[in-house]
Amino acid sequence: MLSDLLDDLAGASDPGELAFIGWEVVQATARAALSVGGRWQGSGKWLLRELRAHDPALADALLSAHDDPVRLTAVATDVLERAGGRLWEGYRSQGDPFHQSLRHVAAGELSGETAQSSGMRRLAAVSGATTGSSRLWMGQTHVAPSTRSSDHHHGASETAIYVVSGRPAFVFMEDDEEVRIEAGPGDYVFVPPYVPHREENPDPAQEAVVVISRSTQEAIVVNLPDLRQR
Query: Residue 20: what are its φ and ψ, rounded to 5°?
Result: -65, -45
In sign, the C-alpha dihedral spanning 15, 17, 19, 25 is negative
Give Cβ neighbours of residue 159 (< 8 Å, ≥ 6 apart).
Answer: 190, 191, 212, 213, 214, 215
CATH of 107-223, one of 2.60.120.10, 2.40.50.140, 1.20.210.10, 1.10.4030.10: 2.60.120.10
pLDDT per position as a tens digit, 54-107 = 899 999 999 999 999 999 999 998 888 876 666 544 444 455 555 678 889 999
d(C-alpha 185, C-alpha 128), whole Å: 28
pLDDT band at 201, cuts 50/70/90? very high
The pLDDT, as a whole number, for residue 92 is 46
The pLDDT, as a whole number, for residue 88 is 45
- For the chain, which residues make up each domain, given as ranges? 2-82, 107-223
- The alpha-helical segments, DSSP class H, found in the chain are 2-11, 15-36, 45-54, 56-65, 69-82
